[in-house]
Amino acid sequence: MSSFSLYMGSPDTYNSIRFIGAGFDQTINGTQMFQGDTSQAWSWGKRINFDFGDYKVSQVILSSSSNSFEVDNAAANFAAVPEPATWAFMIMGFGAAGAVLRRRNALSLA
């Protein structure tokens, strides 16, 4: 994934999120996520967005060294991967183009 987002309520210093991917491994604790605002008020809640730039993250680990980690509405952006039918049509198209070029060469040599 190229980005990750979640809604977090009641930030705690003992919560952390770890992102792991090819050439990328970073852990962010509760204090870092909220620039020190860990007031733990019941009405407190914020959406947190993470952008990984050119890195592709394959794992997100939410952990807590105490009794709570309140999250909701997590979302991620994944790179598009063509479906198998798309690959099949593309390969058939290359084969057809090759056959046409080959037939054209055979006709021009005759």
* Per-residue pLDDT tens digits for 11-54: 677 888 999 998 899 998 877 877 666 566 666 778 888 888 88
Average of per-residue pLDDT across 101-105: 75
pLDDT at 60: 92
Residues 10 and 8: their CA atoms lie apart, in Å, by 7
Cα 88 from chain centroid (whole Å): 26
Query: Residue 52, Cα to own-chain centre: how many angstroms?
Result: 8
How much of the chain exceeds pLDDT 90, in percent? 11
Task: Tell which wins on pLDDT, 30 or 3.
Answer: 3
What φ, ψ does residue 64 adopt, rounded to 5°?
-145, 135
- C-alpha 56/C-alpha 81 separation (Å) is 14
Nearest Cα to Cα of residue 70 among 44, 94, 88 = 44
Question: What count of residues does the chain have?
Answer: 110
pLDDT band at 73 (very low <50, low <70, confident <90, very high): confident
What distance in Å separates the CA atoms of residue 110 and residue 38, rounded to the nearest whole number? 82
Band the pLDDT of 105: cuts 50, 70, 90. Answer: low
